[in-house]
Structure 1
C-alpha cells in the first residue's frame, strides 16, 4: 500500500484492520453500511490494485493471456476478464479498460505481486511494458448522488456502465455498475479529490463496498480463492468476461470444453447467514457426503443485520448448505442468474 495513501487515510480517522492494510471504518461501521444502502459513500479501495500494459504489442499480449476479447476492446471501454492456469482455473480476475495507448487492469491487491511477476514471465521479447501502478490510489464512489459528486468535483462522467474516461489531472473514472464508479487517481491528486467528493459522499470502510459487491454480484478472485474456479463457475461468461470466439489463451481448451459440453454444475450464488461469511470458507451440505459443495468468494456484514456473501455453489445442493462443515451454521443461498 502506498505509504502516502495510508498516511492520508490515518489523518481522516480511518480505522485499519490489524492484519491487512484495509480500512474497516471511519468511526461508525453500522452507519456507514446504512449509508451504502441509502445514500452516497466514498470508499478507499485498499483491497484493489492496478497494473498497466503498454507498448506496440500490449493488445496482442493481453489478448493471448486473458479470457475476454482484448483485440476488440474499444478506446474508453472496460470489461471483465479472467487469467487462468493451464487447467482452466482463474489465478486472477480483472476489470480491464483501454485508456489512450495502454490497457489498465484492476485486480485484488493480495494477488498483485504474484500476478505481475508471472505475467512478466510470458512477455519474453514482446514489445510490452508491464507496470505496477504503485503511485495510483483507488477510490470507490457509490450511491444516488455519485454522478453529481463527480460533476461537482469537476470530473467527467463515463457515458454508460463499463465505460471509462479520464480528467486533466490523470484521474481515470470507470463506471462499474448502476450507481458505482471506481476512480484511479495519482496520489498527488488525493487530498483535493477526497475533499471535493466528500461534499456529497460519506467516507465508509471496505465492508460497505463489499456489501455493494454482493448486491451487484461482482465476482473478484482474491488470494483466498486463487485457482479455485473455472470462469463459468463464477458466471464470468454472463458478464462478458469470457469470449468463445477468440484464439488460444492459458486454459482455453478446458474453458471451451466446459462450456460446450454443458458440464458446469457450480454457479454464482448470494448467501445470507447469521455469522461472518469469509472469503475462501468452504460450504458443505448434509446431502453431499463426498466433498464440499461450494466456496465463498467474498463476504460482508449486511445493513439489515447478519451477513451476506457471494459464493460458487454446486447447484443441486444449494437448498441445504452449512458453513465450514456439514454440522456448521446454516446459510441460505439464492442463484445470481437463475437457470
Structure 2
C-alpha cells in the first residue's frame, strides 16, 4: 500500500503554482452579486476570512471550484487558469445589472503553495516584508500564499514540483476541474458538501434548485473517490478506467486528476456513490495495472 504521506515533505517547502488565476470583484454590489452566483455563503465571511466554493451553470453543473477571500475593499477568487474563459464569461453575463467590476488580476500576483511538517509554526513565526501577502490554510501544515509581484517574494525554502501540490490535493480529497470536466458534475458529485463549499441555508443562487434537490431528494448518485495503484504507462485524465465485476471488467468513472511518479499513481475519480470500497480497478484492457480505493480524509453524508 502506498504511504499516504508519500508526497508530504519533512520540512516546510515551496511549490510555485503558475497555473492559478486570481479574479477580483469590487464595487458596492460585489458581495451581493457574488452571493447570488455561487454555492458558498459570501455574506457570512468577515474581512480576512476565506472558504471553498463553486460557480455553477443554471443546471447545477460546476464551472469552477475556487477559494474565496473576502478583504476590506474587494473579493478575490483563486482557481485554475484553464477554467477562466468559460467561467468568467458566465460570471460577467449578469454583472451589467449590478455595481460590480470583475477583473482578472493574475499577472499582479505570485501564487505559491507551502507544505511540509512544521509549516503552521513556520508561517506563524516568520515575518515577511510584503504587507499584501494573503495566506490561506488548505489543511494541516499546508497553505496557499498570494503575494504581489512587487516587491518580489523570496522564500528560503526547499522547492517541490507543482505536480506534487496537486497530488496533495488528491490525498486531501479536494477536486480539481479541467476544461474536459468543466460543467460535467453537480457539486455533490465532487464531495463539495463535505468540504463546506455549499450552503444549504443561504437562499437562491445559480443552480441552487438542482443542487438542493440532490440533497433533499437523493438525486445525486456519484461521489469523488481516491484511488492508488501502479502503472508502467502514463495515466492521464483521458485514460479509461475499468472496474472488476465478477470475472469481467467494465468501464467506469471519470478521472479528474492524476499524480504519477514512475509507476506509482494517485487518482481523483468520480464514481457511482455506491461503489464498494474493496473494488479493483485497472486501465482499460491493461492487466498489468491495478488500483484500489483509499479512504477519504472526511466523512460523506
Q: 1:117 aligns with which of 63, 70, 89?
A: 89
Answer yes or no: is 1:135 the counterpart of 2:108: yes
Match of 2:138 among 147, 170, 176: 176
The corresponding residue for 2:268 is 310
Higher helix share: 1
2:45 is paired with a residue whose SS is coil
Cα shift readout 1:128-166 (whole Å, capped 9, x = no counterpart) = 0111112211011111232454356513xxxxxxxxxxx
Q: Tell me the residue number matched to 1:81.
A: 53
**1:246-325 correspondence to structure 2 within 5 Å:** 246-275=202-231, 276-279=234-237, 281-287=239-245, 292-301=251-260, 306-318=264-276, 319-324=279-284
Matched, 1:99 2:55: no
Distance 1:83 1:100 in 2: 22
User: How far apart in 2 are the matches of 1:36 and 1:47?
Assistant: 21
- 1:330 — aligned with what? 290
Tell whether the 8 Å contact from 2:226 to 2:295 is kept in structure 1 after alignment.
yes
Q: After TM superposition, give the deviation of residue 338 of structure 1 in Å.
A: 5.4
Q: Give the conservation status (yes or no) of the 8 Å contact 1:268–1:335.
A: no
Residue 198 of structure 2: aligned partner: 242
Contact 2:110 2:148 in 1 (8 A): yes
Q: Does 1:214 align with 2:174?
A: no
Residues 59-74 of structure 1 mapped to structure 2, 5 A cutoff: 59-74=31-46
The alpha carbon displacement at 1:316 in A equals 3.4
Consecutive unaligned residues in structure 2, runs of 5 or more: none
Report how far residue 51 of structure 1 moved.
0.5
Q: TM-score, normalised to structure 1's length? A: 0.77
**Structure-1 separation of matches of 2:7 and 2:197:** 30
Count of aligned residue pairs for this structure pair: 289
Aligned partners of 1:78, 1:294: CA distance in 2, in Å?
Answer: 31
- Cα distance in 1 for partners of 2:280, 2:7 equals 32
SS in 2 for 1:188: coil
Report Cα offsets for 1:164-222 as digits up to 9, x if no partner. xxx753221112211111111111232xx22xx22xx2111112211211222222222
State the Cα deviation string for residues 238-264 of structure 1 (Å, max 9, x = none): 111111112222211111111111233
- For the Cα contact (< 8 Å) 2:255–2:270, is it kept in 1? yes
Equivalence for 2:12: 40
TM-score by length of 2: 0.86
Measure, in 2, the Cα distance between the counterparts of 1:217 and 1:189: 34
Displacement after TM superposition at 1:272 (Å): 0.8
1:317, distance to aligned residue in structure 2 (A)? 3.6
Shift of 1:34: 6.4
Q: 1:78 to 1:296 in 2, by over 3 A?
A: same
Unaligned runs of 5+ in 1: 1-32, 156-166
Of 1, 20, 27, the match for 1:55: 27
Of 247-256 and 61-70, deviating more is: 247-256
Deviation at 1:301, TM superposition (A): 2.7
Residue by residue over 1:254-312, the C-alpha shift from the partner in whole angstroms, topping out at 9 and shown as x without a partner, is 11111111233211211112124433544332439998531122121369x61112211
- 8 Å contact kept, 1:277–1:309: no
- Secondary structure class of the residue paired with 2:151: helix
Aligned position for 1:6: none
